[in-house]
């Protein structure tokens, strides 16, 4: 089969690999029909995530058709069209029994601090991912779900990560009616978080980025008020001004480890890997939220230390909430919202490219070229 393969920082290519075998009785092998590149993949691509091995296939956002199932699989059969949450999880450990699917303890030998994620380095379990023609899906009776007849494939693939994560991010903000919500980052996660904030009753939704084309999308897709931080000497002061010097009730970090806007922070983290991640957006979040407010962190950071302004968070009495998204927990409600027409996730897709061109897909998304917001990968096209 053809699969995307990591060749070292900034380098990927398509290689011929064996179709993955069944390794466990509850495995399924899925033929991928549509995959996506996620902002999280960029942290791997740039070599920021420890134990990212040459030869690994990335990709944790994908849908496909069941090709084969292990002997204990009861809920799926060959030919089923399935959407697969980005989390690999067992469904039965202490965490899974309580709905913390992204924190499963039975699937990642390499680290206890993070659960299993498809195609996301050995630090997240060493699973090959879905930017390939076939992928191994462990715990087939737990993770995957049948794609409803009425759902578009492009909506389904975005439900496996970006949409569910944005929606989860808004939930962790504990938004109450009338709240002012600031979202840092107008990528897929930020756009969905902004849109979801309205569903939870926000009174005002503000999105911050430095890419005008993405802020334009935040206005049209997410009905948000937007500011380009590069136009302000100090975006935190600007946010204070426009919230009557109170600050926002809730701030969502949808940027993560490669945040820009401060040369030193960005370069030490993203280029030279001296920090787990560049905490620029996170520090702006801590500074621009009101005292007693909530910061919801969806942006991903590496396992090493980052220069976070913890003292301010403490003195301000903030609530900091964060996690990898337990994707499937969001689905029943999100299916309803899509069906009701409240959410149309595929509106943010800008590029659809064949697997063979994936190196260009990574370069374009990484450098934010050609108006790129979300790129889908179509194997076998």
Partner 1 sequence: MAYTAHTNKQAETSDELRARIPGWGADLDPKDRPSVPRLKFDPQASGAHWDFPERQKEKWPRERSIEHKFLTPVFGTSSPPKGLSGMLRKYAYARFSEGRAAHWLILLAADRVDAIESHLASFATGRPDNPITETGIRTEFRRSGFPTRFAPGRVDRAHTWIDPILVAGPWILAAGSTAAVARAVLRRSS
**Residue 367 binding partner 1, by CB under 8 A:** yes
**Residue 329 binding Zn ion, by CB under 5 A:** no
User: Whose CA is closest to 142, among 275, 6, 311, 27?
Assistant: 27
DSSP 329-379: HHHHHHHHHHHTTS--GGGGEEEEEEGGGHHHHHHHHHTT-TT-SEEEEET
Cα distances from 180 to residues 225, 244, 293, in angstroms, run: 11, 11, 10
Number of other CB atoms surrounding residue 72 within 10 Å: 11
DSSP single-letter state for residue 271: I
What distance in Å separates the CA atoms of residue 93 and residue 211, rounded to the nearest whole number? 42
Residues 276-295 that bind ligand NAD (CB under 6 A): 280-281
> Which token pair is 102?
């992204």
**Residue 338 binding ligand NAD, by CB under 6 A:** no
Residues 20-59 that bind Zn ion (CB under 5 A): 38, 40
What distance in Å separates the CA atoms of residue 139 and residue 368, rounded to the nearest whole number? 35
Residues 133-172 that bind Zn ion (CB under 5 A): 161
Near partner 1 by CB under 8 A: residue from 92, 292, 317, 381: 92
Smallest distance, Å, CB 96 to Zn ion?
A: 3
State which residue, 31 or 105, has the beta carbon closest to partner 1. 105
Among ligand NAD, partner 1, Zn ion, none, what does residue 190 contact (CB within 5–8 Å per kind)?
Answer: ligand NAD
Residues 195-214 that bind ligand NAD (CB under 6 A): 208-211, 214
What value, to the nearest 5°, has the Cα angle with vertex 287 and ends 281 and 293? 105
- Strand pairing partners for 304? none
**Residue 343 binding partner 1, by CB under 8 A:** yes
Near partner 1 by CB under 8 A: residue from 26, 40, 294, 324: 26
**Phi, psi of 148, deg, nearest 5:** -60, 145
Cα distances from 48 to residues 25, 112, 267, 343, 372, in angstroms, run: 34, 19, 12, 33, 22
Near ligand NAD by CB under 6 A: residue from 187, 279, 293, 361: 187
Smallest distance, Å, CB 67 to ligand NAD?
A: 26
**Residue 182 binding Zn ion, by CB under 5 A:** no
What distance in Å separates the CA atoms of residue 125 and residue 51, rounded to the nearest whole number? 10
**Residue 234 binding partner 1, by CB under 8 A:** no
3-state secondary structure 63-74: EEEEEEECCCCC
Among Zn ion, ligand NAD, partner 1, none, what does residue 298 contact (CB within 5–8 Å per kind)?
Answer: ligand NAD
Near partner 1 by CB under 8 A: residue from 77, 78, 98, 241: 98
Smallest distance, Å, CB 149 to partner 1?
A: 21
**Residue 354 binding partner 1, by CB under 8 A:** no
Residues 252-271 that bind partner 1 (CB under 8 A): 260-261, 263, 266-267, 271
Residues 176-195 that bind partner 1 (CB under 8 A): 176-178, 180
State which residue, 31 or 228, has the beta carbon closest to partner 1. 228
State which residue, 118 or 379, has the beta carbon closest to partner 1. 118
What distance in Å separates the CA atoms of residue 269 and residue 272, rounded to the nearest whole number? 6
List CB contacts of 231: < 8 A, sequence separation 6 or more.
Answer: none
Residues 85-124 that bind Zn ion (CB under 5 A): 89-90, 93, 96, 104, 106
- Residue recorded with tokens 């040369």: 263
**Contacting residues toward ligand NAD, per CB under 6 A:** 38-40, 42-43, 161-162, 165, 184-190, 208-211, 214, 229, 254-257, 259-261, 280-281, 298-300, 324-325
**Contacting residues toward Zn ion, per CB under 5 A:** 38, 40, 89-90, 93, 96, 104, 106, 161
């Amino acid at each position: 089969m053809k699969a995307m393969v990591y060749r070292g920082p900034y380098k990927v290519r398509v290689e011929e690999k064996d179709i993955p075998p069944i390794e466990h009785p509850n495995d399924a092998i899925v033929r991928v029909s549509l995959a996506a590149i996620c902002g999280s993949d960029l942290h791997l691509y740039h070599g920021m995530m420890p134990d990212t091995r040459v030869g690994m296939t990335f990709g944790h956002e994908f849908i496909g058709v069941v090709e084969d199932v292990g002997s204990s699989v009861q809920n799926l059969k060959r030919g089923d069209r399935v959407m697969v949450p980005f989390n690999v999880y067992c469904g039965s450990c202490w965490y899974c029994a309580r709905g913390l699917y992204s924190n499963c303890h039975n699937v990642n030998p390499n680290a206890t601090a993070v659960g299993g994620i498809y195609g996301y380095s050995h630090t997240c379990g060493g699973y090959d991912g879905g930017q390939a023609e076939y992928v191994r899906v462990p715990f087939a009776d737990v993770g995957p779900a049948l794609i409803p007849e009425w759902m578009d494939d492009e909506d389904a693939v975005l439900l496996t990560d970006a949409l569910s994560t944005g929606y989860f991010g808004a939930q962790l903000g504990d938004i109450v009616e009338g709240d002012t919500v600031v979202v840092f980052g107008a990528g897929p996660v930020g756009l969905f978080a902004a849109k979801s904030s309205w569903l939870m009753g926000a009174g005002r939704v503000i999105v911050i980025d430095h890419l005008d084309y993405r802020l334009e999308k935040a206005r049209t897709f997410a009905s948000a008020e937007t500011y380009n931080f590069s136009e302000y000497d100090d975006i935190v002061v600007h946010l204070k001004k426009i919230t009557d010097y109170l600050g926002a009730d809730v701030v969502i970090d949808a940027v993560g480890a490669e945040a820009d806007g401060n040369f030193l922070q960005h370069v030490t983290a993203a280029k030279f890997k001296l920090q787990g991640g560049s905490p620029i957006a996170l520090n702006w979040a801590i500074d621009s939220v009101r005292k007693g407010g909530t910061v919801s962190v969806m942006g991903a950071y590496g396992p090493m230390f980052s220069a976070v302004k913890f003292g301010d968070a403490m003195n301000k009495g903030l609530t900091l909430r964060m996690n990898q998204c337990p994707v499937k927990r969001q689905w029943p409600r999100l299916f309803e919202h899509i069906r009701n027409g409240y959410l149309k996730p595929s509106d943010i897709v800008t590029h659809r490219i064949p697997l063979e061109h994936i190196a260009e897909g990574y370069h374009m998304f990484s450098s934010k070229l050609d108006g790129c917001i979300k790129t889908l990968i179509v194997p076998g096209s």
